[in-house]
Structure 1
Amino acid sequence: MESILQKAIQSIQKSSIAFSKYITANDTGATGAHQAGFHIHKNAWQLFFKTPGKKGTNEDKFVTIKWQDDFETQSRFIYYGTGTRNEYRLTRFGKGFPYLQDDNIGDLLIIIKRTDDYYEAFVLQSDEEIDDFFAELNISSTDTNGILPRQFQQTSEDKLHDCFLAFLKSLKVDFPTTLELATNSRNCYNNAFGITQQIIKSNPDKEILNWLNTEFQLFKTIEIDRYSKRIQTPFKTVEELVETANTILNRRKSRAGKSLEHHLSEIFKTFQLDYSTQTITEDNKKPDFIFPNLEAYHNLKFDPEKLVVLASKTTCKDRWRQILNEADRVKTKHLFTLQQGISKNQLEEMYKYNVCLVVPKPYLTSFPQDFKEKILTLDSFVKIVQFKQQ
């Protein structure tokens, strides 16, 4: 029996246009907004309309949507352009619709156009499904909330592209290590766009997202170069095909898992923070970051109030519990994630167990209003560590 993920991938492959986004608190009404229904980014108007909405008017379109290859809704895609509003929403799903609940915050919504008025939609709920979706389509977790796939704009970023090609030419191995990939992509971006340490310090939340996106583009460039000839040659056996596909997918997931940690390290170095990474605490546990260092952690005379532990996970709806016993001396565990939105119930459980979320500042709007003051940005987390290290 095919999984929901497999059905979503197959549907996308058969369509001319598809869209993805994390379900947010704004969609479910958890922010206190009166208007429930999926907010669709303005750059995705062509998913439903032939022309973008015109300010000063409201426009709508009624469509049939089949959800999870199971049931259908008669839904309405509407552009609100009157008054102060300027937004697109997908509404009207009928009584008992299961995907606009608080627990759906942080799930991944996928909408695929099959005909002019018939669509398919899928909701991926587990971290593993979402990670596999990104890996299968070779898109970045930072590249959601838009049309799939979003192509790398070479024409407007010639300097960056030239740096990619120079790095590709210099490679003496099939694929660079995750650290080399992160470092070189970051250097390419910083040089191409004139990013200085002062700029990074002024907005670390913005720059880490730029680095993550640039690394993903560099990885795609290398991957295309390495596999373009191979995939044009017939595979001799099914086993050979499966082995090649698994190699590609495993490398994608491995890169994504380490990428965030590498770029966070660079942020901490830029701010001249003292820290240790991937060191061993109790029971052979390995927290991603300990501030100020492992020696201070194991020194029982060192004030535990000055110790900080940070885990980094691209998605954390299911995985946040993994960090609870990584450092017994530190009561509050900080967790940096690229997850865009988590339900109120899950957040309550996280904070009950003293897990404090840290997210890029642009992602704060994806979370329920009740928790926005509790969730830290990368900038505010750095300031807390700086204060403890004074």
Structure 2
Amino acid sequence: MPLAELTEWLSEFGGPSFIWCVKRLSGNDTLANGSHQAGPYLPKEFVFPIFPEIDRTDIKNPDRWIDISVQPCPDSRKVRLVYYNSKRHENKRNGRNETRLTNFGGSNSSLLDPESTGALTIFAFHLDESGRAFEAHIWVCQHETEEETVEDRIGPVEPSKWIVWSPDQPQKSLFQPSLARRSSCWLELNEIPHAWLSTFPTGAEVVEKAVTLRSDSHLTPDQRLVKRRECEFEIFRSIEQALELPLIKEGFGSLDDFILRAQTVLQRRKARSGNSLELHARAIFIEEQLQEGNHFAHGRQSEPGKRPDFLFPSQSAYRDPTYPADKLRMLAAKTTCRDRWRQILREADRIDTKHLLTLQEGISEAQFKEMVDAKVQLVVPAPLIEKFPKSVRPYLQTFESFIADVRLLALERHG
């Protein structure tokens, strides 16, 4: 698919009468895990202002039928936007309280295709003069290049997060990375270290702050990883807002000045998204009594020009031809893996099975088989495993299990 088609789509549906909700499709959005909830979830905080007629609890599951078109695999139909409100309407304990788009035609829809799980997807809603939506245009990214094109414009989008973007109000959209409510990790201005208000902290410093606020030593490594990532995201957003929002409010002398500032913000977000997961993994390895330099190496070369995120037990062991190859491990940390998993196949030539830690919320059975055939072992935090197909779940390794395996190798080494 030529990239020009995406560029044209972004131009056509990126005008002042559109508002976007951008997210990565989970296994519960597509047909990947056989969920009866098939159909993409959209946050109520986004839906209700543009579809106020379904923001009600006096009737069960209020809905609205709207015209949609899905690209790049052409599909036009009427779909049902429904507010499942049983949690507030009748079943307060086990009910639902969410908004979804349904009636896409099942497996005939490219949006519900299991292979679309993990895909970056734009939901562009067309607004009338009163600000109410009356139709939607959807683009499901087909590969990493398309995703990079979108993220160059709006910033990185992580699993379970969404970005609301108003193409005609980029200044406002820049500081609405999600509609999630603030957590206790949000730092007020007086809680941010003074030095961070002049120079943005490094990723390692933000992760260290998250560890301080969420020590959670009683939790498993998997639970700590998920909770701290959420915490760190809030810390990052709060610092970013404290530094950048005053500049935005002051205004800019020219469009070029704004574009330059926006690019700085977006590049910082990309850097944070790219390094966050491995920094959290490193912190937990150390908490679990794995010594850097002795039990693992972080960011060291395996071969010239090849730098896996983690080598076990060390770079020197890896480069020692007498060290048994079956006692070596490598771990790559990638927030999403739909297209990026192939990048790790040549990161450590001596290691046959590559371990990949990911936060992606599901994967298709076909792509999982492709990974298995390529000898990639997925490592998934335990709280996310239920988002994968039932047939895949038994073959996933938790983060805690991976740490236990590495620890056992260390004991055998010194035994």
Task: Answer whether TM exceeds 0.5 for this pair.
Answer: yes
Please state if 1:284 is matched with 2:305. yes
CA distance in 2, matches of 1:243, 1:42: 33
Name the CA shift for 1:219/1:289 in 2 (closer, same or farther; >3 Å): same
Please state if 1:23 is matched with 2:48. no
CA contact (8 A) 1:287 1:309 kept: yes
Matching of residues 54-133 of structure 1 within 5 Å? 57-68=60-71, 72-78=76-82, 81=86, 86=96, 89-94=100-105, 96-113=108-125, 114=127, 115-127=132-144, 129-130=146-147, 133=150
CA distance in 1, matches of 2:245, 2:39: 41
CA contact (8 A) 2:308 2:344 kept: yes
Alignment match of 2:360 (pick from 327, 336, 339): 339
Amino acid at match of 1:376: Q
Alpha-carbon deviation of 1:267?
A: 0.9
TM-score, normalised via structure 2 length: 0.76
CA distance in 1, matches of 2:21, 2:216: 34
What secondary structure sits across from 2:395 in the alignment? coil
Alpha-carbon deviation of 1:257?
A: 0.9
Q: Which moved more, 1:321-330 or 1:362-371?
A: 362-371
In structure 1, runs of 5+ residues without a counterpart are none
CA distance in 2, matches of 1:373, 1:66: 37
Alpha-carbon deviation of 1:139?
A: 6.8
CA distance in 2, matches of 1:301, 1:77: 62
CA contact (8 A) 1:45 1:52 kept: no
CA distance in 2, matches of 1:350, 1:256: 23
CA contact (8 A) 2:54 2:64 kept: no
Please state if 1:309 is matched with 2:330. yes
Name the CA shift for 1:28/1:229 in 2 (closer, same or farther; >3 Å): closer
What secondary structure sits across from 2:342 in the alignment? helix
CA distance in 2, matches of 1:23, 1:4: 23
Report the count of equivalent residues. 375
**Which of structure 1's runs of 4+ aligned residues deviate more than 6 A?**
41-45, 82-85, 145-148
Please state if 1:382 is matched with 2:393. no
Quote the residue 2:278 is aligned against. 261
CA contact (8 A) 2:81 2:99 kept: yes
CA distance in 2, matches of 1:52, 1:363: 31
Name the CA shift for 1:77/1:332 in 2 (closer, same or farther; >3 Å): same
Please state if 1:228 is matched with 2:245. yes
Q: List per-residue Cα deviations over 1:122-145 (Å, max 9, x = no partner).
A: 323434554665675457615526
CA contact (8 A) 2:187 2:239 kept: no
What secondary structure sits across from 1:321 in the alignment? helix
Amino acid at match of 1:300: P
CA contact (8 A) 1:127 1:316 kept: no
Q: List per-residue Cα deviations over 1:223-255 (Å, max 9, x = no partner).
A: 3333334433433473x4443333222222112
Alpha-carbon deviation of 1:311?
A: 0.6
What secondary structure sits across from 2:187 in the alignment? helix
What secondary structure sits across from 2:377 in the alignment? strand
Q: List per-residue Cα deviations over 1:128-177 (Å, max 9, x = no partner).
A: 554665675457615526978435645x63x7524x74334233752222
Supply the RMSD in Å over aligned alpha carbons: 3.6
CA contact (8 A) 2:68 2:78 kept: yes
Q: List per-residue Cα deviations over 1:46-83 (Å, max 9, x = no partner).
A: 3755335679x454432222334975321123456599
What secondary structure sits across from 1:336 in the alignment? strand
TM-score, normalised via structure 1 length: 0.80
Quote the residue 1:3 is aligned against. 7
Please state if 1:181 is matched with 2:181. no
Identity of aligned residues (%): 30
Q: Which moved more, 1:285-294 or 1:338-347?
A: 338-347
Amino acid at match of 2:267: N
